[in-house]
A and B are shown apart, each in its own frame.
Chain A
């Protein structure tokens, strides 16, 4: 991969002319990947959570310069067809209300489960408290994470 690029959902993207742009706006305005949402612009609400090399990262406070040579996955790239166990668990628990924060909740949950396939409630609290849901779907988010964890065990 050339040094002035990064991968987004598996595709190499030349970002030489956008090095100071936060990942969030590059995804939304330049790559037309609007599933990653703007909530605060300051890294305090978590609505823009994506994966960078598998870890949950807030796209609004990381510039492309810091991501050269790395691999970004957004909600659009989590699975080709919504079949990721976390997405399936989300549907089974009918988690979403307005839905705006849900891509971020799902990305954060998927990263958590990769690190901890059987997270405790305390593990969930620690990671998921970073992501605001103003509609208040937290109880279902927790249930869906446990459900996805069970699915991956069997």
Chain B
């Protein structure tokens, strides 16, 4: 366990601003820091700044591995520091399964650059050509003379050298760290309770706040009686808060904050508030109305987002048709939204578990009424993110409250706040139609109807189809006629990205429907997919990279092979294959359904995510992605009643538990392609693999999430 790392965590929670100053002071004293990402001290310690948020995906271990690889550092001498928000680190957003993909090149280059400077310093000292020197485990050596110099002994000279801009990177066969299963650097802190999340931040003079929002978006306080709340010991302030005019992010953020000496006092004060709400027009919103509207709109043609050839319509004779429905979903990370914000006259400091520190700065500045450059943001550990923490609405709220009371404030959302004031994965309806001729799908039609994440900011957002149809447009099957449409239904419920985003919806539909078509054709579902998967390279929906379609065929083949002989009834086996966020994934799920109980016994998953930095982390993300997908497939559903989110806690929005956990076997396809994503790609195929397995086991086709099975 590294003392430096622990010291940092404590420092970051306690002192914040002092950190950057201290590190820069060190840099003046012979530390080699040729770029923003690393510094090598005279004692040989390699410090790597982690510029992405750690939310369980392992960036605080995998990103330093990239630096250490090209630096030829000794892994045990690597320590990490979480980068505060600073332009010198470049963009610091954590999302889109992009951290390793985006930093793969810059971090390796950062390491290689420092290594080149250390080698040059040794060559100068020994007066030998740099080209003949080699490096390993933090030491430069000269194979001809046997001389050795530790990196720490070379940094003083190396730091005086010009920074080269043309370093060469290693060939993959020379990797010593990339491709190995380094354990979490945060592991020792986590198992001893020393790891510090946003909720654990304490700063001097800090007060504890809780905030009662309008239960309906757009509602406001009609009458407030704070008398009883004020009488509760420890309650300091009752503060009316209204952020709704400041930003679309704060559209829920109108209500009353209770600020107290302790969390418990704040919560008791909250319970004692008497508030009468003017709930506004959205209070008329009902789940049934939303679903009726979806069904009605689904009958109409939508905006065409892809059309090749003549596609079928759903009521055409001879067409195979099916309607699917997916619900609103909450992210429900175990650490509820929270942060600490200290607003003073001309400065604002933020300590927050956020995926988008840039967004936290912007909303804090807006709320505090100061320039963004006057806002400092320190990112803590995140107790789960899943897309929810891309929106820093809670930082804006805390800034408003801190400004009002003139003290640093920790705003902690209750679980119910978290469940009821989210940015949800949208509800959607999917009308599918296809025709089969001689075992081949000859045309395919997919009409998506639903709200759009684009309209999170309001009714008039541009191109609402873009956030909802992308993975349906790039579906991986080679069919002569394809028609994809989007019908936009505006619903005043805030929506946002949720692990694997639109593919969490369209992936379920596409992989279920191709299975339906296989059965309609009397074909084996795996063979049918293999016969239809693209043969030409296709563009990822990022639109940047051509994907070799053989990767999809390979993962499907491997998953099917490794799953082995089909299970005997009452179990059935279902498959799904997807290409999401830069990785091909195939699942084989063994499932049984009896009475009203669906039981998932086993997942065999093959993933091709390009070059693998840390195989055990990839396995962990696949295991976790399957659990996330199963929670949605079997349990998750947010519903709206009188304009409110009905669910409030894990009792009515339950997630997968230990006794429901299937055995998961992960097979990683070796690859030398550039790294793909890992956090999101395992998710989209989970629900369809289960649906297809239930069909194989029972002959029942479940087309609505979450699955409700009734044996009849």
Binding site for B on A (CB under 8 A): 21-22, 25-26, 28-30, 32-42, 44-45, 47, 74-76, 78-79, 81-82, 87, 90-91, 94, 96-103, 106, 124-126, 128-142
A-B contact count (CB 8 A): 179
Q: Which residue of A lies closest to B657 (CB)?
A: A129
* Option from A41, A130, A138, A139 in Cβ contact (under 8 Å) with B415: A41
- Distance, CA A102 to CA B188, complexed state (A): 11
Query: Are A34 and B200 touching (Cβ within 8 A)?
Result: yes
Q: Which residues of A contact B336 (CB under 8 A)?
A: 38-39
The answer to whether B659 and A37 have CB atoms under 8 Å apart is no
Provide the main secondary structure of the chain B interface.
loop
Q: Which residues on the B side are within 8 Å of A74 (C-beta)?
A: 193
Contact residues in B for A102 (Cβ distance below 8 Å):
190-191
How far in angstroms is the closest Cβ of chain A from B647?
Answer: 12
Minimum CB distance partner of B665 in chain A:
A139
Interface flag for B264 (CB, 8 Å): yes
Contacts A30-B262, A38-B412, A139-B623; A100 near B197 (Cβ below 8 A): yes
Judge whether A39 and B623 touch: CB under 8 Å: no
Contacts of B624 in A (CB 8 A): 97, 135-137
Which of A29, A90, A97, A130 has a CB less than 8 Å from the CB of B56? A97
Q: In the complex the two chains form, what is the Cα distance from A126 to B660 in whole Å?
A: 11
In contact, B193 and A103 (Cβ under 8 angstroms)? yes
Q: Which of B91-99, B238-246, B376-384, B398-406 interfaces with chain A?
A: B376-384
Query: When A22-B264, A29-B262, A47-B334 are in contact, do A139 and B663 touch as well, CB less than 8 Å?
Result: yes
**Which residues of chain B in 147-204 are interfacial with respect to chain A, using CB atoms and an 8 Å cutoff?**
181, 183-184, 186-197, 199-200, 202
Contact B334 A90 (CB under 8 A): no
Residue interface mask B653-684, A partner, CB < 8 A = 1: 00111111101100000000000000000000
* B302 is an interface residue with CB less than 8 A from chain A: no
- CB of A98 within 8 A of CB of B191, answer no
Closest approach, in angstroms, between the C-beta of B385 and any C-beta of chain A? 8
Selecting from B64-72, B476-484, B625-633, the interface stretch reads: B625-633
Q: Do B263 and A132 have beta carbons less than 8 Å apart?
A: no
* Bound Cα distance from A106 to B181, whole angstroms: 23
Most buried by B among A33, A106, A136: A136
Nearest opposing residue in chain A for B196, CB measure: A34
Nearest chain B CB to A147's CB is how many angstroms away?
13
One digit per residue, 1 when the CB lies within 8 angstroms of any chain A CB and 0 when it does not, for chain B 320-353 equals 0000000000001111100000000000000000
- Mask: chain B, 407-427; 1 = CB below 8 Å from A; 0 = not: 000001011000000000000
Neighbouring B residues of A36 by C-beta, 8 Å: 193
Contact status B655-A132, CB under 8 Å = yes
Q: Indicate if B611 sits at the interface (CB-CB under 8 A).
A: no
Q: Which residues of A contact B386 (CB under 8 A)?
A: 134
B650 close to A132 (CB less than 8 A): yes
Question: Which residue on A lies nearest to B614, using beta carbons?
Answer: A94
- Identify 27 residue pairs between A and B in the complex whose beta-carbon atoms are under 8 Å apart, listed by A's number: A29-B208, A34-B196, A38-B263, A38-B412, A39-B334, A44-B651, A45-B415, A47-B334, A76-B192, A76-B193, A76-B194, A82-B1, A96-B184, A97-B56, A98-B334, A99-B189, A99-B383, A100-B335, A129-B657, A129-B658, A134-B333, A134-B386, A135-B627, A136-B656, A137-B623, A138-B658, A139-B661
Q: Which residue of B lies closest to A36 (CB)?
A: B193
Contact A96 B658 (CB under 8 A): no
A141 to B191, CA, bound (A): 12
